[in-house]
Amino acid sequence: MNSRILSSAIPLATALVTTTAWAEPVTLRFSDEWKTQGTLYLFLPTSTVGTSTVAGTSADVDMDLQDALELLDFSLSGRVESWRNDFGVIFDANYFGISGENTKTAGTGPLGADLDAEVKVAQSWIGLLAGYRVASGVNANGKAYSFDVQGGVRYNSITQDIDVSGPARDESLGGTEDWWEPVIAARGTWEIDEDWTFAAMVDAGGFGAGGNELSWSTTLGFDWSFSDSTSMVFGYRYYSIDFEDDASDGTFGYAFEQHGPFIGLTYAFN
DSSP for the chain, please give it.
--HHHHHHHGGGG----------GGGGG---SS-EEEEEEEEE--SEEEEEEEETTEEEEEEEEHHHHHHHEEEEEEEEEEEEETTEEEEEEEEEEEEEEEEEEEESSGGG-EEEEEEEEEEEEEEEEEEEEEEEEEE-TTS-EEEEEEEEEEEEEEEEEEEEEEETTEEEEEEEEEEEEEEEEEEEEEEE-SSSEEEEEEEEEE-TTGGGEEEEEEEEEEEEEE-SSSEEEEEEEEEEEEEEEEEETTEEEEEEEEEEEEEEEEEEE--
Q: What is the pLDDT of residue 21?
A: 38
pLDDT of 164 reads 80
Which pLDDT belongs to residue 237?
93
pLDDT at position 203 is 95
Mean pLDDT of the region 116-126: 85
**Residue-level pLDDT at 104:** 67
Q: Quick one: pLDDT at residue 106?
A: 59
d(CA 96, CA 123): 5
Residue 8 has pLDDT above 90, yes or no: no
* pLDDT grade for 17, boundaries at 50, 70 and 90: very low
pLDDT at 220 over 80: yes
C-alpha pair distances (Å), 68 with each of 46, 159, 203, 239: 9, 16, 24, 16
Q: pLDDT band for 112, please (50, 70, 90 cuts).
A: low
Q: Where are the domains of the chain?
A: 3-268
pLDDT band at 4 (very low <50, low <70, confident <90, very high): very low
Q: State the average pLDDT over residues 59-79.
A: 87
113 vs 126 pLDDT, higher one: 126
pLDDT band at 107 (very low <50, low <70, confident <90, very high): low
pLDDT, average across residues 232-239: 94
Mean of the per-residue pLDDT values for the chain? 84
Overall average pLDDT of the 226-232 stretch: 89
Residue 3: its pLDDT value, please? 43
Confidence of residue 264 (pLDDT cuts 50, 70, 90): very high
Instruction: Report, at the CATH architecture level, how domain 3-268 is classified.
Output: Beta Barrel (2.40)
Q: pLDDT at residue 98 above 60?
A: yes
- Cα–Cα distance, 15 to 22 (Å, whole number): 22
* Among 185, 221, 256, residue whose Cα is nearest residue 41: 221
Does residue 118 have a pLDDT over 90? no
Mean pLDDT of 245-268: 90
More confident call, 20 vs 138: 138
Quote the pLDDT of residue 173: 85
Would the pLDDT of 48 be above 60?
yes
Whether residue 241 is predicted with pLDDT greater than 70 in this model: the reply is yes
